[in-house]
Amino acid sequence: MGYISPHIISASRATDIPAYYTGWLINRLNEGFVIRKNPFNQKPYKISFENTRVIVFWTKNPEPLMQHLNWFDDNFPNYYFQFSLNDYSRKIEPAMPPLEKRIETFIKLSERIGKKKVIWRFDPLLLTDGIKTGDLFRKIENIAGKLRGYTEKFVFSFADIKNYRRVQNNLKKAGINAFEFTEKQMLETAKGIYEIFAGSNIKTATCAEKIDLSQFNISHNKCIDDDLMIKLFPHDKKLMNFLGVKKNEKGIFVERKRNLKDKGQRKDCRCIESKDIGTYNTCKSACAYCYAVSNKKIKIK
């Protein structure tokens, strides 16, 4: 069996661990390892937490995990959240709590751990027969007005349908006719997002998108983000060493020599290397646009 001991844990792109598997996660962290199967060849390998310095949480509902934040502060204090807070119907996101409840959870989490550690994602942006770009603007603007002061970054992506058979099948089964964004629609959307956040302290970025939207002050995001880690956890010497951070005698950052881009991610993904501990076909949210669940069949192990 293979063995790895990563410095950064992703929890998780493959399933919503904070929403559904917090107890399992704490149990595995206490045990010191998890066994995961390679999603491509199904060969098992051991992921040890002995070198873990950062946990990046991905979730649409972190409320079940929040009651355990003291435990994480005591045992794995370096963490931050990628919080996907969308505004779609139950046909698209059937298991989500009401929008106002999720906004309330976002605010509580931000107040508890700090706004730098809670990144708002509206992911993915989805065009359907009933959702046009103007509808997306209204949804984003509504949420943005309530989250000002509680986050410093807004991240979005354009729904990628044609490249994922699972997404096509899930949308079809849900009876949703969705469309790929044209480049013109991407630019129109970027302009609208720029106007929504103009004058605010919230930076905007895309996730794993090739298109250059810098004319709208929209950057390419790194969701597993070494720059953010340096800002949040500068006193963790082991983490700084892993990131290749060099400081002068006054402790001021002067250079970084390591290229840590995650080669296992899509070409346009800017994330640095991490190890995901989630399992496909285990997320109970069953969102219609999801690439990680096939035909809404959930396999609990």
What six digits make up the tokens of 11? 């929890």
pLDDT of residue 299 exceeding 70, the answer is no
Instruction: Kindly state the average pLDDT of the residues 121-130.
Output: 98
| Residue among 202, 225, 231, 24 at smallest CA distance from 122 | 202
pLDDT of the residue at 255: 73
Can you tell me the distance from the alpha carbon of 215 to that of 235, in angstroms, rounded to the nearest whole number?
35
Q: What single-letter amino acid sits at 246?
A: K
φ/ψ (deg, to 5) at 7: -85, -25
* Residue 215: DSSP 8-state: G
User: How much is the pTM?
Assistant: 0.95
Architecture of the domain made up of 2-276: Alpha-Beta Horseshoe (3.80)
pLDDT of residue 298 exceeding 50, the answer is no
- The label of the residue with tokens 């390591």 reads 258
Confidence label for 41 from pLDDT (cuts 50, 70 and 90): confident
pLDDT of the residue at 249: 78
Query: Contact, 191 vs 138, CB < 8 A?
Result: no
Confidence label for 54 from pLDDT (cuts 50, 70 and 90): very high
Instruction: Kindly state the average pLDDT of the residues 154-172.
Output: 96
Beta strands in 76-131 (DSSP E): 79-84, 118-125, 127-128
* Residue 214: DSSP 8-state: G
Can you tell me the distance from the alpha carbon of 7 to that of 213, in angstroms, rounded to the nearest whole number?
32
Confidence label for 1 from pLDDT (cuts 50, 70 and 90): confident
133-147 vs 99-113: helix crossing angle, rounded to 10: 40
What are the CA-CA distances from residue 256 to residues 220, 244, 253 (Å)?
19, 5, 8
What six digits make up the tokens of 262? 């995650």
Residue 98, SS3 per DSSP: coil
Q: For the segment 200-249, what is each residue's pLDDT rounded down to a tens digit? A: 999 999 999 999 999 999 999 999 999 999 999 999 999 999 999 887 77
pLDDT of residue 296 exceeding 70, the answer is no
Instruction: Give the DSSP H/E element, type plus range, for residue 156.
Output: strand 153-158
The dihedral sign for the CA sequence 152, 111, 24, 230: positive
* Residue 272: DSSP 8-state: B
Report domain extents, the chain. 2-276
pLDDT of residue 251 exceeding 80, the answer is no
- The label of the residue with tokens 């250059």 reads 212
- The label of the residue with tokens 């006054």 reads 250
pLDDT of the residue at 300: 38
- CA 111 from chain centre, in angstroms, equals 19
Can you tell me the distance from the alpha carbon of 62 to that of 221, in angstroms, rounded to the nearest whole number?
22
Instruction: Kindly state the average pLDDT of the residues 129-147.
Output: 98
Averaged pLDDT score across all residues of the chain: 94
- % of the chain residues with pLDDT over 90: 89
